[in-house]
Amino acid sequence: MRKRAGWAALVAAGVGLALLITLFSPFASSSPDGLNKVAQDKGFHQAEKGPSYEIIPGYSLPGIDNPHLAKILSGIIGVLIVTAIGLAAGYGMRRAARSRAAEQPLSNASGTTPSGGAGRT
Amino acid sequence: MTTLLGFFVGPWAAVLIMTTVVGVQALVFQDGGLAALGANVFNMGILTAFVGYAIFRGTVTVARGSRTAMLGGAFAAAWITVMISAFATSAQLAISGTSPWGVVLPAMMGVHALIGLGEGVITAGAVGLVLSARPDLLRVPTAIAPAPSYSTYTGESA
């Protein structure tokens, strides 16, 4: 049997691919998205309020002169933040599921059945 | 996007992932908007994840292993959820008094009918690739899972 990649390998490959794809972010379409286009065409884009603070507005890292590099770097930052949040959430849910499983014998003794859906690992 | 995600991780996790993405966009990149975050999570996350997953699961059940039917179901799930999202956004814009129903609804549905085609092609393409390589990654009940013939390459073992 050919060995199939496990979840850890898939996650690593996914993050690697996402980082690789940031290299192509300078080629992203600069046209407005569907809602923005309609808002401009129909004149309700002025209803949009500006942000109260700015970190990386417009997906271009401030302080970098080369616009393409600024966009790629902002993409890398975005991938890293989302990956970190995702891994943290996954770790937290796994821990919660494990501690729930540890309590299971007690609740089983009292006649309740383990809830379906939760605790998939 | 969320629709395709849901095929692999289920609708609940897909909503969580989409919320992460939209939240980071709003908080770090000043895109999408903090005040609109709830609407964005609902329209692009919750609505699309559950409706898209239901449509795809329904087709997988009916398809009984037919690859063409499953790809059609993936395409339909993507296009329909884009349209539902556009409808929900239009309704919110109309109800909030941002733009009248008669103006925003036809414009949004028209633009997104085209966007949905692109979304549908990408979704069906991705599902097609996964069906050929790793059909086990699709989150459908094993009783109606794609036929193992899709992964006959495992027979080429050493």
Mutation test of the interface with chain A: which of B29, B99, B151, choosing the one with the most A Cβ atoms within 10 A? Answer: B29
**Could A44 and B93 be called an inter-chain contact, meaning their C-beta atoms sit closer than 8 Å?**
yes
Residue A114: pLDDT above 90? no
**Could B29 and A57 be called an inter-chain contact, meaning their C-beta atoms sit closer than 8 Å?**
yes
User: Residue B140 in contact with residue B77, Cβ under 8 Å?
Assistant: no
Per-residue pLDDT of chain B (158 residues; tens, 9 = 90+): 799 999 999 999 999 999 999 999 999 999 999 999 999 999 999 999 999 999 999 999 998 888 999 999 999 999 999 999 999 999 999 999 999 999 999 999 999 999 999 999 999 999 999 999 988 889 987 555 665 544 444 444 43
Using a CB–CB cutoff of 8 Å, tell me whether A60 touches chain B.
no
What lies within 8 Å, CB to CB, of B129 at 6+ separation is none
Q: Which long-range contacts (CB under 8 A, 24 or more apart) does B21-28 make?
A: B21/A82, B24/A78, B24/A81, B24/A82, B24/A85, B27/A55, B28/A55, B28/A56, B28/A77, B28/A78, B28/A81
Helical axes A34-42 vs B101-133, angle rounded to 10°:
170
A52: helix, coil or strand?
coil
Q: pLDDT band for A6, please (50, 70, 90 cuts).
A: confident
Find the length of chain A: 121
| ipTM of this complex prediction, to 2 decimal places | 0.82
Minimal CA separation from A1 to chain B, in Å: 5
pTM (two decimals) = 0.84
* Alpha carbons A88 and B156: distance in angstroms, whole number: 38
